Amino acid sequence: MTTSTLRVAIVDDHPIFRNGLSRSLADEPGFEVVGEGASAADAVALFSQHRPDALLLDLSMPGGGHEALRQIIRQDASAAVIVLTASEEDDDLFDALKEGARGYILKGVSASTLVSAVRNVVAGESYVSPSLAARILTEMRGDPPPVPNAARGPHDDALASLTPREEQILGLVADGNSNKEVARQLNLQEKTIKHNMTRILQKLKARNRTEAAIFLRDARSRP
């Protein structure tokens, strides 16, 4: 096994799907499947035992995928948990990302797309299936109905600490722009945008760009 091998665990309570996915990844160069499970308890135990580079997790399973995700992230906030599910529900998507999932992929995705997504997540990026990513952007751009007697959100103070330039950059990122596109729109160098995004993530205590965008979406949704 080389140092570039990605160690992956798979947790899904459908044996046929899980076994097929395991064989597909095991046949992929640079991948090793270190364990399989069928429940939330299995997911937590597999992560504790193997500390895989990535853990593929279904949401619908005994014990609940969301509960497994929360327990794993409490163990290790940097864990690369990727939700692989049939659920396209907004609540499942946003809750999973808030709970610390680094990816949210819909079942039915091609093997090549899944492999690429896993590699990107392990490299420190985040991944959301394109149809759902578009939904996130649509919701953030829209004007949701006001929430009666809405309390201040937990990230309001952190958002208020952003400089006008940082707030402008985060807004453009939340609208779906890459660092290069933001730099072009603001007539700045791409490395300047990257430096600002690093500061933004630190101020918000956000794990990635997607989570920071969700914080902004939540703030925008309150009157």
Q: Which CATH topology does 6-132 take?
A: Rossmann fold (3.40.50)
pLDDT in tens, 33-59: 999 999 999 999 999 999 999 999 999
Q: Which two tokens stand for residue 138?
A: 């649509």
Percentage with pLDDT > 70 across the chain = 87
Region 156-220: CATH code: 1.10.10.10
Can you give the pTM of this predicted structure?
A: 0.64
- One-letter amino acid at 108 equals G
Q: Give me the pLDDT at residue 222, please.
A: 59
The answer on pLDDT for 146 being more than 80 is no
Q: Give me the pLDDT at residue 149, please.
A: 41
By the 8 A CB rule, do 216 and 159 touch?
yes
Of residues 67 and 198, which shows the higher confidence score?
A: 67
pLDDT bucket at 220, cuts 50 / 70 / 90? low
pLDDT bucket at 2, cuts 50 / 70 / 90? very low
pLDDT in tens, 84-114: 999 988 889 888 988 999 999 999 888 888 9
Q: Give me the pLDDT at residue 154, please.
A: 57
Domains in the chain: boundaries:
6-132, 156-220
pLDDT in tens, 130-145: 777 766 665 555 544 4
Write the Ramachandran bin of 205: left for phi over 0, alpha for psi from -120 to 50, otherwise beta.
left
DSSP H helices in the chain: 15-26, 40-50, 65-75, 90-99, 111-122, 130-141, 156-160, 164-174, 179-186, 190-204, 209-220
Average pLDDT, the chain: 84
The answer on pLDDT for 3 being more than 60 is no
Q: Give me the pLDDT at residue 38, please.
A: 96
pLDDT in tens, 12-41: 999 999 999 999 999 999 999 999 999 999
